[in-house]
């Protein structure tokens, strides 16, 4: 399935350009900035270039700015120099780790986040793009005002497209939105000042990790990061819960001292990582996804080997009762594993990824298992179940996109997990006291979401669901003469999961192609 998705799909702009080597050039970053940007941006008495000096952005944000200068203003710059500039700007005018909290989903290309933005920003800004896009910028009040003017100048019909005919859009933007943006997202902040002075964590060394692969499920492994200059070399091994061992290799760039951007080959399949190194340098977290299709991915958690004792996770993380298994406790600094709760066990065989421990939960066993070792612990990393009271589909709402058919936009699939729950003290499913078991095996299907979807035969035309993987691949783009009005293969579907006697339901919208897909949506 993944191979079929990869064919004809061009890798994302950020994936290609943010992994460019950083050459050892004679000029430093400030000189390169002056040489490549000073022709249009005037320097003040302190040598700070107009517009540029009043902004801070993520590496993706600076990349988008430079690409826009090339596309719309004829800027001529070689890709190695562009890479150097992105690094320089992200390092000197980036965002502190705390300033990206709550908005990293947009950098990590998480496909199923539903934003809830209050007015006026929800009305004035988020009608066209994500709120994370402006929340991951910092500007002076003057720059926020110029940003409004830029929008009107670049898109003259903006006021009408943004449903602005019922209000004085430009007046509201200048008098209400600009002060609010300047207050919430100012250029100068204590967090950024502290981060500029802080010692940056090292990416080099060994990392033990836990993640999931789209078709292979839960996995764990070890990465080795080496090299004296960027991009660093990455090598390692990944093991699936099923016992398959895959080699890992690739390249890594680090921006702003903590922004980890890697392109990896895992067993012959290209993946991309958008992660963040913790401020203390001991952990790593974010999302890993297919380079060819960022909707197919999962969370990625890692700990620096040789650091303080840490339990990253357990693979597998859910166990049917009455079966024997070897559970890999992923972590570092572990000295003997202790399991308590639904399973009582101790010991384990140390390995390069942590420690492996054999367990045999009795039939009829239900409950969470706490993991402890050498002062490190994890309360919710493992669960044993003999029954499931209720099942939830995650995400509960998702979007897939038709594609292919000779066009430049490939199909955008959607992936779902079935998450089991036990009833809480109230004995009722679907209430706040329910206890999460974790991801469990399930069979998958789709059905029309409503009467209109049934009438239009959306389940027949919109695409196919893989019955065991929970991956939905949409149909081909373009008019379909078999449908009413020869409409395309869009659809409104129920996503149905079944595990034992438990069932769960989600919603999937299959819609048209996304023609403009920038690094920050």
Of the residues 163, 195, 227, which one is the last residue of a structural domain? 195
> Hey, what long-range contacts does 475-482 have (CB within 8 A, 24 or more apart)?
475/402, 475/411, 475/510, 476/402, 476/403, 476/404, 476/405, 476/411, 477/402, 477/403, 477/404, 477/405, 477/407, 477/409, 477/411, 477/512, 477/513, 478/402, 478/405, 478/407
Q: Are residues 229 and 333 in the same domain?
A: no
Q: What are phi and psi of 324, to 5 degrees?
A: -95, 145
Give the pLDDT confidence score for residue 123 in this predicted structure. Answer: 83
Q: Are residues 131 and 234 in the same domain?
A: no
- For the segment 36-49, what is each residue's pLDDT rounded down to a tens digit? 999 999 999 999 99
Q: Are residues 394 and 374 in the same domain?
A: no
Q: Are residues 424 and 445 in the same domain?
A: yes
Give the pLDDT confidence score for residue 183 in this predicted structure. Answer: 98
- Can you tell me the distance from the alpha carbon of 371 to that of 341, in angstroms, rounded to the nearest whole number? 9
Q: 518 in a domain, yes or no?
A: no
Q: 519 in a domain, yes or no?
A: no
Q: Are residues 168 and 60 in the same domain?
A: yes
Of the residues 331, 353, 384, which one is the last residue of a structural domain? 384
490's CB contacts (< 8 A; 6+ apart) are 402, 458, 462, 509, 510, 511, 512
Tell me the residue range of the domain where 157 lies.
Answer: 13-195
Give the pLDDT confidence score for residue 249 in this predicted structure. Answer: 98
Of the residues 279, 304, 329, which one is the last residue of a structural domain? 304
Q: Are residues 154 and 168 in the same domain?
A: yes
For CA atoms 455, 461, 466, 472, the dihedral sign is: negative
Q: Assign 16 a pLDDT band (cuts: 50, 70, 90).
A: low
Q: Are residues 237 and 322 in the same domain?
A: no
Share of the chain above pLDDT 90, in %: 86
Average pLDDT score over residue span 311-329: 97
Q: Are residues 253 and 167 in the same domain?
A: no
What CATH number does residue 228 fall under?
A: 2.40.128.120
- For the segment 120-162, what is each residue's pLDDT rounded down to a tens digit? 998 888 888 999 999 999 999 999 999 999 998 988 887 777 6
pLDDT tops 90 at residue 361:
yes
From residue 517, alpha-carbon distances to 107, 109, 215, 308, 514 in Å are 13, 11, 25, 40, 6
> Hey, what long-range contacts does 339-348 have (CB within 8 A, 24 or more apart)?
339/369, 339/370, 339/371, 339/382, 340/369, 340/370, 340/372, 341/367, 341/368, 341/369, 341/370, 342/366, 342/367, 342/368, 342/369, 342/383, 342/384, 343/369, 343/382, 343/384
Give the pLDDT confidence score for residue 12 in this predicted structure. Answer: 56
From residue 508, alpha-carbon distances to 257, 393, 398, 474, 476 in Å are 38, 11, 5, 11, 17
- For the segment 217-250, what is each residue's pLDDT rounded down to a tens digit? 999 999 999 999 999 999 999 999 999 999 999 9
What CATH number does residue 427 fall under?
A: 2.60.40.10
Average pLDDT over the chain, rounded to whole? 93
Give the pLDDT confidence score for residue 163 in this predicted structure. Answer: 62
Q: Assign 84 a pLDDT band (cuts: 50, 70, 90).
A: very high
Give the pLDDT confidence score for residue 23 in this predicted structure. Answer: 54
Q: Are residues 402 and 492 in the same domain?
A: yes
Give the pLDDT confidence score for residue 155 in this predicted structure. Answer: 86
Q: 146 in a domain, yes or no?
A: yes
Q: 418 in a domain, yes or no?
A: yes
354 in Cβ contact with 312 (< 8 Å): yes
Average pLDDT score over residue span 406-412: 93
Q: 170 in a domain, yes or no?
A: yes
Give the pLDDT confidence score for residue 6 in this predicted structure. Answer: 41
Query: pTM of the entire structure?
Result: 0.94
Q: Assign 104 a pLDDT band (cuts: 50, 70, 90).
A: very high
Report the 3 state secondary structure along 367-412: EEEEEEECCEEEEEEEEEECCCCEEEEECCEEEEECECCCCCCCCE
> Hey, what long-range contacts does 151-155 have (CB within 8 A, 24 or more apart)?
154/72
307's CB contacts (< 8 A; 6+ apart) are 281, 282, 332, 333
- Can you tell me the distance from the alpha carbon of 13 to that of 15, in angstroms, rounded to the nearest whole number? 5
Q: Assign 447 a pLDDT band (cuts: 50, 70, 90).
A: very high
Give the pLDDT confidence score for residue 119 in this predicted structure. Answer: 87
Least Cα distance to 271 among 262, 282, 280 occurs for 262
Stronger pLDDT, 171 or 94, i.e. the higher one: 94
Q: Are residues 76 and 42 in the same domain?
A: yes
- For the segment 113-124, what is each residue's pLDDT rounded down to a tens digit? 999 988 899 888
Q: 521 in a domain, yes or no?
A: no
Q: Are residues 405 and 489 in the same domain?
A: yes
Q: Are residues 17 and 68 in the same domain?
A: yes
Q: 309 in a domain, yes or no?
A: no
Number of structural domains in the chain: 4
Q: Which residues pair with 326 in a beta bridge?
A: 358
Q: For residue 209, what are its two tokens?
A: 């990790």
- For the segment 292-315, what is each residue's pLDDT rounded down to a tens digit? 999 999 999 999 999 899 999 999
Q: 210 in a domain, yes or no?
A: yes
């Amino acid at each position: 399935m993944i191979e079929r998705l990869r064919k004809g799909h061009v890798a994302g702009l950020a994936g290609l350009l943010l992994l460019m080597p950083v050459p050892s050039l004679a000029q430093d970053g400030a000189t390169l900035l002056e040489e490549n940007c000073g022709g249009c941006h005037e320097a003040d008495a302190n040598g700070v270039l107009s517009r540029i000096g009043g902004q801070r952005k993520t590496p993706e944000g600076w990349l988008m700015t430079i690409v826009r200068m090339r596309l719309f203003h004829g800027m001529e710059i070689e890709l190695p120099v562009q890479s150097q500039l992105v690094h320089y700007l992200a390092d000197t005018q980036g965002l502190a780790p705390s300033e990206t909290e709550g908005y990293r989903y947009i950098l990590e290309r998480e496909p199923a986040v539903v934003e809830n933005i209050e007015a006026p920003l929800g009305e004035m800004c988020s009608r066209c793009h994500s709120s994370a896009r402006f929340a991951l910028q910092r500007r002076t009040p003057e720059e926020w005002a110029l940003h409004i003017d830029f929008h009107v100048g670049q898109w003259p019909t903006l006021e009408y497209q943004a449903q602005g005919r019922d209000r004085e859009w430009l007046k509201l933007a200048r008098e209400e939105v600009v002060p609010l943006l300047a207050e919430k997202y100012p250029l100068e902040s204590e967090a950024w000042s502290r981060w500029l002075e802080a010692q940056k964590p090292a990416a080099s060394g060994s990392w033990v990790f836990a993640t999931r692969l789209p078709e292979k499920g839960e996995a764990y492994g070890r990465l080795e990061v080496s090299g004296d200059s960027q991009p660093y070399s990455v090598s390692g091994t990944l093991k699936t819960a099923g016992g398959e061992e895959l080699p890992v290799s690739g390249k890594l760039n680090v921006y702003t001292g903590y922004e980890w951007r890697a392109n990896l080959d895992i067993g012959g399949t290209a993946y991309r990582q958008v992660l963040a190194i913790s401020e203390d340098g001991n952990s790593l977290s974010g999302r890993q996804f297919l380079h060819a299709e960022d909707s197919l991915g999962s969370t990625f958690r890692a700990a620096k080997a040789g650091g303080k004792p840490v339990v990253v996770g357990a693979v597998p993380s859910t166990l049917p009762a009455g079966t024997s298994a070897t559970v890999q406790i992923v972590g570092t600094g572990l000295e003997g594993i202790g399991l308590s709760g639904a399973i009582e066990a101790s010991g384990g065989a140390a390995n390069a990824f942590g420690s492996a421990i054999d367990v045999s939960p009795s039939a009829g066993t239900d409950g969470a298992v706490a993991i402890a070792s050498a002062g490190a612990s994890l309360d919710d990393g493992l669960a044993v179940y003999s029954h499931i009271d209720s099942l939830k589909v995650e995400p509960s709402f998702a979007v897939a996109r038709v594609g292919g058919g000779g066009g430049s936009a490939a199909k955008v699939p959607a992936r779902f997990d079935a998450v089991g729950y036990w009833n809480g003290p109230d004995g009722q499913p679907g209430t706040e006291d329910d206890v999460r078991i974790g991801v469990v095996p399930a069979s998958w299907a789709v059905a029309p979401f409503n009467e209109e979807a049934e009438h239009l035969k959306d389940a027949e035309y919109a695409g196919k669901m893989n019955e065991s993987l929970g991956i939905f691949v949409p149909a081909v783009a373009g008019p379909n003469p078999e449908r009413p009005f020869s409409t395309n293969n869009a659809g409104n579907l129920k996503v149905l999961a079944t595990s034992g006697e438990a069932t769960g339901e989600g919603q999937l919208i299959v819609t048209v192609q996304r023609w403009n897909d920038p690094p920050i949506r």
